[in-house]
Structure 1
């Protein structure tokens, strides 16, 4: 590039943002000295053509943006198994290792998502208190947690959630051993499959006791003690995608999960104002757990794509580590129904809900 003499006219401030004209000297700064270079006509023409293609023709710019959007959507459609923020945090956010040393109380830890989450948090180094009704299964989960991580401390607190009189006693058992509860995971639940008109009040009450009133009771007791210790409690609630979308033959179950969303979304807002509690509500889709029955039959009959409890637990652990407010966890294409239900509810209810596999093939079976 040819350097011009300093006696040539300098480029004004208003002309520096314009495209260089052919053969016109352009101001460049080098080592605190102002020098002038002459831009090649070929380079100037190439830059001008590029700018014209992108900004001179709106249709070309729109086509480029649409191509990028479609490409991103196709990649997300193939690989994503959670909402976009959670997928991003699983790659670039805090790992579950930040939970090392935290005291985590998990209900429903004897099987399914609770069992897999126990293993995930044990590998992260958390101190665990595991609750459930199957004491034998809880012992097996405890042994496996200790085998995975030798330094992990695990205690068992077996009890029936529907027995509200024992909630405070079980909390004291955890506090007597660890002295505190940092994270409470309300995972236990009961599924109810029945046509709406076939439910009785007793059926409704039994499901609501386990799915709603029991976790609310445990959370209140634990939160009161955390406030006395001036500690910030993190509450994790395992809801369901039916809380947002509903489902044929599971009206009571969907109602209980919607109630959880209302309870704990309000508690989250209260916690952000007072600084006393963080709340994470998890909305998993179809997961291969004993709650749904025989896994192999379900694979063939109803749910054509179901997530493993291990993968679901990994994503929940990421949500806990990053204190996510809501987490949508589901394989595509069912994951897209979350977005349709959230942003296009009328279209979802009219055209999409009836096509979901569990709504097309659900049967009226008596809940035992």
Structure 2
């Protein structure tokens, strides 16, 4: 059974693709009501969607139909293991206690039958109080294996013997494209209009993106505006920027590229870029994978923590500060800012170290 972030977000879908490719002989069942995943992984005969994962309200109580039906019919006996895989899946939100209880419920059912339980690829936080940390310390201690993706998250739980750390799961991606680059520059765009702590920078961020795009267009680059997650507003902001830039060569060299579940097609366009101006976490990871020059824009501490692990934090800037940086400086830094330490790819395979022992 797979529990993940099923929102047609490229980064999280890459986690799943890498998992399914690594273990093609294993039958995976996805705990989601999002029917888009039927199309996204339709070519994988070993992947099945569980449709009944929805909450229903009866009186003042809420019930998860999938949990109740599975418990009544087979008590989850059909599964050999539970895998929770994702990136920012342990952030403290107003509803964190309900999410904690769901995870605890699944964990208890699997442990009761001596089934294996895994957490892969995550970072921990941000969080604001010690109760959150204490509850998750208790939860993590009961899993067979927990592998974080950055040192910062690992340090909170390093005293737990079942907790490890390895680079992001996506570093295990098979590149699969010829090593040719066109005169393209890619922009990973995010929507911060409703994000606490960032929304005050909304106009300044968008204005600066427009200025940088115009600079690259003047230098003869084709512009690719990447929307990694339409559900979180990336496409809306990318389209908004595209409309503002219609005067640049009549908009002919500006393309909005929206991730709609077609992973290969999206990555093909991304790979064609020489330079990435990246806000989305996995735009930076992909730039390292494809050996592209990259200028990281930090909107969340997970990005800063990953850049520190890669020794790339110097040539980056926080989103809230980008309006203070000169466009010429950004373009100069981005021109040749690459990750030179390639051992990260070998290290990333350790995300699956424990899972390999039972599935390979």
Q: What's the TM-score, normalizing by structure 2?
A: 0.39
The structure having more radius of gyration, on CA atoms, is 1
Q: Which has the higher strand share?
A: 2
Q: What's the TM-score, normalizing by structure 1?
A: 0.38
